[in-house]
A and B are shown apart, each in its own frame.
Chain A
Amino acid sequence: MAAFLVRRLLQMFLVTIVAAICSYTLLYISPGGPIDQLLGERQNGGVNRINQDDILRVKQRFELDIYAPVRFSRWLIGWPTGPILGSIGADWTVGCAIPGQVRLRYPDGRTEIVEEGCDQPVTLADLEGRKSSRGVFFLDFGVSQVILRDRPVIDLIGTRLPYTLYLMGGSTLLALVIAVPIGVYSAVKQYSRFDYTMTTIAFVGSSLPSFVFGIFAILIFSVLAKQAGLPYLPSGDAVGIRDYAIPLLGTIEAGSFFDRFLRFLMPCGVLTFISIAGWSRFVRGSMLEVLSQDYVRTARAKGVKESAVVLKHALRNSLIPFITLLAGVLATLFGGALITETVFNWPGLGRLYIDALGRSDYNVANALLLINVVLLLIGILITDILYTIVDPRIRLG
């Protein structure tokens, strides 16, 4: 067990580093970088054209004047922040603030300016005194570059995390409580009318894209209900901005508990339904398999009560494969449901991720992706360990 844990933790560490390198490189080869964006904005505005100083400042803010390996190491472990050990390598070139320009003259008289070499290099000594994070490795994800400029990413995540946690937590719990009984009952009464109805609903539900389902929900419970003069649900956001009146329920004060609850209902309902659709099929399948095993027949033959056979003998064993789903749950609890959160404008981490990508806030997107990968890895590890606990036949080696 100890050897297994050590090996797995080592593997996890390696995968995380690979993930960090991948996500970092991916985001920084992106064409829609900060400079491009700034240039675009200024040119469209046309008021004050961007000059060399502006470019320098922006480059420095995003550390684009430092070569990629050094930048990556600063991002990952917050080093180097200046000359090594106080004095070594103070004049080592680690970047380039202004690229050199060479005017090429073609034989036919055309001239072209190409970038070559470096006019103003950045040395290790220049890095001293620059604002720098302590490194992602030490859980400092730097500052947000666009969404909340200069605020630490971790703060941004902190403000969004509660929303994701209570949306995902609520829907996961609700789905578990509903899906397991449905699955068990479907399996016990296989081929009954209940079973057929449930499997059909589950089938359609699990093939339904979540955004289509979300839009249908908004259409029915917000738009049409409102137009018909019935009590309706607010269609988006987690907290209202101003008070609103709902038929039969009266005026709802913005920000009150009831307001938050009404806004919570729809996204939670959509997520719950989707989970139920998948999980009830899963429980049904594994329950059917267990029910056909010899020991269940033995128990029945010995005259054990049917309820005890189902609940004690079959259910407990049929839930073992269910543990695999746990790995996914941990990551989604934190990562949120990207699409559902976007459809309902829910200010959780999933929406934050979409926003960060759409507005090229690299630090935020990177942090979220990394946290997600790490959680997924931890989830898989926990699953493996849980397996040995609930099923003594499985040994880790």
Chain B
Amino acid sequence: MATTTAVPVDEPKTTEPESQLSIVLRRFRKHRLAMFSLGLLLSMLLLSALAPVIAPYPRDEPNLKARFLTPLSTDVNGGLHILGTDHLGRDSATRLLFASRVSLGTAVFATLISSTIGIVLGLLAGFFGGWVDTIISRALEIVATFPTLSLLLIVVSIFVGNEKNIPFPAIVTKTISFLFAVSEREAKLVLMVNLILALFGWTGTCRLMRGMVLSVRENVYIDSARALGASNLRLLARHIFPNSLPPMIVDFTLGVNGTLVAESALSFLGFGITDPTPTWGNMLGYAQSYMFQYPWMPLIPSLPILLASVAINYIGDGLRDALDPRQKI
């Protein structure tokens, strides 16, 4: 029988244990495509944030002498149009910058609202169970049986155009007009579309959150916390919510892409945000009418949609890998 002698530990504990955040960041950084996508998306966001500053021309100023200019050409006044002009002679680069503000802004803003609704309802349904769960789950089931796009189209076609009659508080419209770089008159329409998109987007998040809470709730540490006298609020806020958060982050990322595509599709079909407020979707809608004479026109708004959409998906993919502790990278 070997005797064990206490061996002094050679390495003194100088480093703190690595935090969860830095582990995730380290893992995410290894996903090269996701990092590249993140850079791409951040630069798009930066450009859209700076839109009013760097835009070379006024957004809505038509110039009927300079319609359908090809990219990199100059108009009669000698002004350079990097991306050409549209069917009213408005500078495409300028409109694209402002459009990215509206499109990306809507994608993030509407998804923030819908994710918040989904997470809160999912938390409640999963944690309390009983009649709360019954009501929320039934609502989810009913919403799930509706064809989403069809319903979205109906609701948008009904409420858009009527937004002037809805008394939004001035502070809200002012905030929206600042966030999306649109006039206060247009802000109501933008807000309307955002709210409708948010109202249709929460079901998936809610279902996912409910499932996560149901599984997290069974952990021993929840029982321990409860035995130590933690209140329901503390249990929810300190234990259940943080532990069911990782899949929600991925869900949010994919939700942003879903909203981006949904908004573009609505505007493309002429039901969402309409001219003069530019969005990638409605720019593409107009460009489609002229693509036979001017084949470069649809490329201008569709490439950003494509890049943003693929980039967001890759970021979501990278986050999924980074947040999953079972996955080895």
Contacts and interface: CB of A to CB of B under 8 A. Distances in A.
B150 A335 contact: yes
Interface stretch (A151-159, A168-176, A208-216): A208-216
B309 A331 contact: no
A15 B143 CA distance: 10
A207 B154 contact: no
A27 B156 CA distance: 11
Given A204-B310, A377-B145, A223 B291 contact: yes
Contact of B269 (A215, A235, A339, A365): A339
Nearest to A18: B142
Interface string B284-318: 10001001100100110010011001101110010
A31 B295 contact: no
Q: Do most interface residues of chain B lie in helix, strand or loop, or is the interface mixed?
A: helix
Nearest to B280: A212
A19 interface: yes
A209 B295 contact: no
A343 interface: yes
Contact of A338 (B153, B310, B313): B153
A377 B147 CA distance: 10
B309 A209 contact: yes
A339 B265 contact: yes
A224 B145 contact: no
A19 B146 contact: yes
Contacts of B314: 203
Interface string A170-206: 0000000000000000000000000000000001100
Interface in A339-393: 339, 342-343, 353-354, 357-358, 365, 368-369, 372-373, 376-377, 380
Contact of B261 (A31, A209, A343, A368): A209
A29 interface: yes
B98 interface: no
A32 interface: yes
Interface in A1-32: 15, 18-19, 23, 26-27, 29-32
B151 interface: yes
Contacts of A235: 292
A219 interface: yes
Contacts of B309: 207-209
B268 interface: yes
Contacts of A111: none
Interface string A321-336: 0000000000100010
Nearest to A365: B154
Given A209-B265, A219-B295, A343-B288, A369 B151 contact: yes
Interface stretch (B157-165, B167-175, B222-230): B157-165
A274 interface: no
A51 interface: no
A227 interface: yes
A285 B162 CA distance: 46
Contacts of B302: 212, 215-216
Contact of B147 (A18, A212, A342, A373): A373
A211 B150 contact: no
A291 interface: no
B150 A372 contact: yes
A31 B165 CA distance: 10
Interface in A128-143: none
A29 B269 contact: no
Given A216-B302, A343-B288, A354-B153, A207 B147 contact: no
A209 B264 contact: yes
B155 interface: yes
Given A338-B153, A357-B157, A227 B295 contact: yes
B292 A223 contact: yes
A218 interface: yes
A377 B146 CA distance: 9
Given A208-B306, A219-B298, A26 B265 contact: no
What size tier do the contact residues of chain B reach? Answer: 35 or more
A216 B291 CA distance: 11
B142 A338 contact: no
A32 B317 CA distance: 43
Given A15-B145, A377-B145, A27 B265 contact: no
Contact of B291 (A32, A207, A219, A338): A219
A35 to B, nearest CB: 15
B271 interface: yes
A189 B162 CA distance: 55
A215 B310 contact: no
Given A209-B305, A358-B270, A369 B292 contact: no
A26 B155 contact: yes
Contacts of B299: 219
B150 A27 contact: no
Contacts of B162: 31
A27 B147 contact: no
A32 B165 CA distance: 13
Given A207-B313, A209-B309, A212-B284, A338 B154 contact: no
A212 B306 contact: yes
B257 interface: yes
Residue in B264, B302, B313, B314 whose Cβ sees the most chain A Cβ within 10 Å: B302
Contact of A369 (B142, B154, B261, B295): B154
Q: Would you list the 3 A-B pairs with minimal beta carbon distance, nearest first? A: A207-B313, A30-B158, A31-B162
23 contacts: A15-B145, A26-B155, A26-B158, A31-B161, A203-B310, A203-B313, A207-B309, A207-B313, A208-B309, A212-B264, A212-B306, A219-B298, A335-B147, A342-B269, A354-B153, A357-B153, A357-B157, A357-B271, A358-B270, A369-B151, A369-B154, A376-B146, A380-B145
Given A23-B154, A372-B150, 16 more contacts: A15-B145, A19-B146, A31-B158, A31-B161, A203-B310, A203-B313, A207-B309, A209-B264, A211-B264, A212-B306, A216-B302, A218-B291, A224-B295, A353-B150, A369-B154, A376-B146
Interface of A: 15, 18-19, 23, 26-27, 29-32, 203-204, 207-212, 215-216, 218-219, 222-224, 227, 235, 331, 335, 338-339, 342-343, 353-354, 357-358, 365, 368-369, 372-373, 376-377, 380
